[in-house]
């Protein structure tokens, strides 16, 4: 019973973590582009 109650929470946290990861990854890509532009 207890695990059933906490499971959706765990899933939701993992999903938000994945979205966060995606956001950071795309942010990093933009940052890399900027760095390259600044070097030239």
Residue 5 reports pLDDT greater than 70: no
Q: In terms of pLDDT, which residue wins out, 13 or 6?
A: 13
Asked if residue 2 has pLDDT above 60, the reply is no
Instruction: For Cα atoms 16, 22, 28, give the angle at the middle one, nearest 5 degrees.
Output: 135
Q: Where are the domains of the chain?
A: 1-40
Q: What is the pLDDT of residues 7-39, one digit of tens each?
A: 666 677 777 888 888 888 899 999 999 888 887
Examine the pLDDT at 4 and tell me if it is beyond 70. no
CA contacts within 13 A on the Cβ side of 29: 5
């Amino acid at each position: 019973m207890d695990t059933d109650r906490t499971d959706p929470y765990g899933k939701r946290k993992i999903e938000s973590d994945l979205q966060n990861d995606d956001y950071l990854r795309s942010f990093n890509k933009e940052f890399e582009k900027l760095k390259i532009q600044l070097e030239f």
